[in-house]
């Protein structure tokens, strides 16, 4: 069985028209498919409205109890259900899931980060690192005719919801499913692909091997923000995912049909 795992980024979710057009194309895919969505600005805006201060450590956001509530509400309630309702209106039998639902993605609360001798340790709060993907339950849902729509939330198996990066989740689901199926992973976002020049949308790198990636990193050709996404992507390929494409959300149709679109990793 061929399955598409498609990640849609937060900047596209924030744009009603782009999202709607993306969902049209997603609903149209005939093969089995799984959607993983990111967060977008709504959680940040809601946090501000509620007077919750964004706390950072080592450049990364800390998910304290109040922030977790906000992302749980926005990702799991607002964005996830809106996407599901919109897919249903397009005759796609979507089912919205966090990692806790049907126990599909188990995570461990991130361990304290030890800083320098004097710096003490950093607690990232309610952030989950994926431990296990229960593919059996995802397959049950697919076989029942449902299209999983996964929010970037996991659980620890002890009753706690955790905040998890959507790229990482898409990659983890793909890797786990690749043991039994042909998995094609597509990261859709607001740029045309991996760019040689972050400011020039025409500078797309069409094909990239892992050694190319290493070279680009050394040369600092690739922008810093792309590194985690590419790490996730190459990790997926190394662990058996058949193809990974990073492309603009509007190019989903091309990417699915194997036409030239964005950056193809190999």
Judged by CB under 8 A, does residue 180 bind a copy of itself? no
Distance CA 39, CA 43 (A): 7
Judged by CB under 8 A, does residue 73 bind a copy of itself? yes
Shorter beta-carbon distance to a copy of itself: residue 12 or 74: 74
Q: Which member of 159, 202, 257, 259 binds a copy of itself (CB under 8 A)?
A: 159
Q: Which member of 144, 211, 257, 259 binds a copy of itself (CB under 8 A)?
A: 144
Shorter beta-carbon distance to a copy of itself: residue 100 or 233: 100
Q: Which member of 74, 130, 166, 245 binds a copy of itself (CB under 8 A)?
A: 74
Judged by CB under 8 A, does residue 84 bind a copy of itself? yes
Burial degree of 31 (CB within 10 A; 0-12, 13-18, 19+): exposed
Q: How many CB atoms lie within 10 A of CB 210?
A: 14
Judged by CB under 8 A, does residue 111 bind a copy of itself? no
Q: Which of residues 8-67 bind a copy of itself (CB under 8 A)?
A: 49-50
Judged by CB under 8 A, does residue 124 bind a copy of itself? no
Shorter beta-carbon distance to a copy of itself: residue 94 or 246: 94
Q: Taking Cα atoms as reference points, which of 75, 71, 118, 67 lies closest to residue 96?
A: 75
Taking the alpha carbons of 243, 247, 252, 258 in that order, is the dihedral positive or negative?
negative
Q: Taking Cα atoms as reference points, which of 28, 263, 166, 163 lies closest to residue 174?
A: 166
Q: Where is 62: in which H helix or E strand?
A: strand 60-62
The answer to whether 64 and 135 have CB atoms below 8 angstroms apart is no
Q: Which member of 25, 32, 44, 86 binds a copy of itself (CB under 8 A)?
A: 86
Q: Which member of 1, 93, 112, 200 binds a copy of itself (CB under 8 A)?
A: 93
Non-local (6+) Cβ contacts of 153 within 8 A are 71, 72, 75, 76, 98, 99, 100, 161, 162, 163, 164
Binding-site size, a copy of itself (CB under 8 A): 41
Q: What is the closest distance, in whole angstroms, from the C-beta atom of residue 185 to a copy of itself in the complex?
A: 24
The site for a copy of itself (CB under 8 A) is made up of: 49-50, 69, 72-78, 80-82, 84-86, 88-89, 93-98, 100-103, 137, 140-141, 144-146, 153, 155, 157-161
């Amino acid at each position: 069985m061929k399955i598409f795992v498609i990640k849609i980024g937060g900047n596209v979710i924030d744009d009603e028209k782009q999202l709607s057009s993306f969902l049209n194309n997603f609903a149209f895919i005939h093969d089995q498919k799984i959607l993983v969505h990111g967060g977008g600005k709504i959680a940040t805006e809601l946090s501000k409205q509620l007077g919750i201060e964004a706390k950072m450590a080592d450049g990364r956001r800390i998910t304290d109890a109040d922030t977790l509530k906000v992302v749980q509400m926005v990702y799991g309630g607002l964005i996830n259900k809106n996407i599901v309702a919109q897919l249903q209106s397009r005759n796609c039998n979507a089912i919205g899931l966090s990692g806790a639902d049907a126990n599909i993605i188990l995570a461990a609360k991130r361990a304290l980060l030890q800083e320098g001798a004097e710096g003490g340790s950093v607690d990232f709060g309610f952030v989950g690192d994926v431990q296990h993907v229960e593919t059996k339950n995802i397959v049950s849902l697919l076989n029942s005719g449902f299209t999983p729509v996964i929010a970037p939330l996991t659980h620890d198996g002890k009753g706690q919801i955790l905040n998890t990066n959507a790229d990482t989740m898409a990659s983890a689901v793909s890797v786990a499913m690749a043991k039994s199926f042909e998995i094609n992973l597509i990261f859709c976002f607001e740029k045309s692909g991996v760019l040689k020049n972050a400011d020039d949308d025409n500078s797309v790198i069409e094909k990239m091997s892992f050694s190319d990636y290493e070279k680009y990193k050394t040369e600092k050709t690739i922008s810093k923000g792309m590194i985690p996404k590419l790490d996730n992507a190459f990790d997926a390929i190394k662990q058996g995912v058949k193809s990974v494409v990073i492309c603009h959300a509007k190019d989903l149709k091309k990417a699915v049909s194997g036409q030239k679109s964005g950056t193809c990793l190999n």
